[in-house]
């Protein structure tokens, strides 16, 4: 997808794909062939630049076709550079400007709290994104309203465009910050599928507070030459890099 577009965020997509896999294929109650079912669980990709990861999940889930994937970032494509809820089925909110998704997800959670199907709302945040003040406004709101149907996941890959998050403007301790704001906070290895699923179940079981799962991840996960490399934040692979990356990813797949 990114290779064909020759544009897109490779590293940021790879760090969260395991989280998205757990959400879309184990946790979310959704109906790909009835995407406007009002009782569905919602997912908001607040770190909108990881759109290719979301599109890959939506494709596997049945919302998008192979042909759609080939047109990423193209003129008149439903797969915009950053998710566009108006154009793309399965995309719940338009994101891309960082810091806004938690408020949107919380608004959905408030609106759905009396729904008979008891839908839950999930939102994926980046760790660099936590530098945005609006995240903490929303964190305060969700705790104040005791929005237990809201679950945030933080893709803690430690890197942002200009370098290490810890060096640019540190955000740790993330879990403790959320706890201090009144959230139920869990920490997991963001590439350990069983652990992620357990954390999602624990979040679902918490009935009096919003939950956050702080997922420790590796930017560019699964591709040796991308892992932990800032330069792969928003870079597309060339032909040789793609072949090597796919070989590594397919070889590593269990």
Partner 1 sequence: MTRLLSTREEYGHALVRLGERSRDIVVLDADLSTSTCTETFAKRFPDRFFNMGISEQDLIGTAAGMALAGKIAFASSFAIFLSGRCWEQVRQSVALPGCNVKLVGTHGGVTVGKDGASHQALEDIAVMRAIPALAVIVPCDAVETRKAVEAAAWYDGPVYIRLTREKLPVIYPDEKPFRIGVGGVVRQGSDLTLCGIGLMLHECLSAATALAQEGISARVIDLATVKPIDEDLVSRCAAETGAMVTAEEHSVIGGLGDAVGEVLLRRRPVPLERIGVRDSFGRSGDPQDLLRYFDLTAEAIVAAAKRALARKQP
Which residues make up the interface to partner 1 (CB under 8 A)? 38, 42, 44, 84-86, 92-97, 99-112, 133-134, 137-138, 140-141, 144-145
Task: Specify the residue for token string 């906070």.
Answer: 185
Among residues 102 and 188, whose Cβ is nearest to partner 1? 102
66, 1 Cβ separation under 8 angstroms = no
Among residues 110 and 195, whose Cβ is nearest to partner 1? 110
Q: Residue 149 CB, nearest distance to partner 1 (Å)?
A: 11
CB atoms within 10 A of CB 116: 7
Among residues 54 and 108, whose Cβ is nearest to partner 1? 108
Element (H, E) at 224: none
Among residues 5 and 102, whose Cβ is nearest to partner 1? 102
Q: Residue 160 CB, nearest distance to partner 1 (Å)?
A: 19
Q: Residue 158 CB, nearest distance to partner 1 (Å)?
A: 26
213, 188 Cβ separation under 8 angstroms = yes
Taking alpha carbons only, the member of 22, 10, 43 closest to residue 193 is 22
Q: Residue 41 CB, nearest distance to partner 1 (Å)?
A: 12
First-to-last CA distance in the chain?
22
Among residues 104 and 213, whose Cβ is nearest to partner 1? 104
Long-range contacts of 192-200 (CB under 8 A, 24+ apart): 193/18, 193/21, 193/22, 196/18, 196/19, 196/22, 197/22, 197/26, 197/27, 200/22, 200/23, 200/26, 200/27, 200/151
Q: Residue 109 CB, nearest distance to partner 1 (Å)?
A: 7
Q: Residue 211 CB, nearest distance to partner 1 (Å)?
A: 17
Among residues 44 and 218, whose Cβ is nearest to partner 1? 44
What 3-state class would DSSP assign to 185?
strand
Among residues 23 and 121, whose Cβ is nearest to partner 1? 121
20, 44 Cβ separation under 8 angstroms = no
Q: Residue 198 CB, nearest distance to partner 1 (Å)?
A: 27
């Amino acid at each position: 997808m990114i290779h064909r577009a020759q544009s897109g965020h490779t590293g940021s997509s790879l760090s969260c794909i395991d989280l998205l896999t757990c959400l879309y294929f184990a946790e979310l109650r959704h109906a790909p062939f009835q995407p406007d079912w009002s009782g569905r669980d919602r997912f908001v990709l607040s770190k909108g630049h990881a759109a290719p990861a979301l599109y890959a999940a939506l494709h596997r889930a049945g919302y998008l076709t192979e042909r759609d994937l080939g047109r990423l970032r193209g003129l008149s494509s439903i797969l915009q550079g950053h998710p566009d809820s108006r154009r793309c089925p399965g995309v719940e909110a338009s994101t891309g400007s960082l810091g806004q998704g938690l408020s949107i997800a919380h608004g959905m959670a408030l609106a759905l709290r009396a729904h008979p199907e008891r839908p839950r709302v999930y939102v994926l945040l980046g760790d660099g994104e936590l530098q945005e003040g609006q995240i903490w406004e929303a964190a305060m709101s969700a705790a104040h309203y005791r929005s237990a149907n809201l679950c945030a996941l933080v893709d803690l890959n430690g890197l942002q465009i200009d370098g290490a998050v810890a060096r640019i403007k540190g955000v740790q301790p993330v879990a403790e910050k959320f706890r201090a704001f009144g959230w139920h906070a869990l920490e997991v290895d963001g590439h350990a599928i069983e652990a992620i699923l357990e954390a999602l179940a624990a979040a679902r079981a918490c009935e009096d507070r919003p939950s956050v799962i702080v997922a420790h991840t590796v930017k560019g996960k699964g591709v040796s030459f991308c892992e932990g490399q800032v330069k792969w934040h928003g870079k597309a692979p060339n032909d040789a890099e793609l072949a090597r990356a796919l070989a590594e990813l397919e070889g590593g797949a269990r």
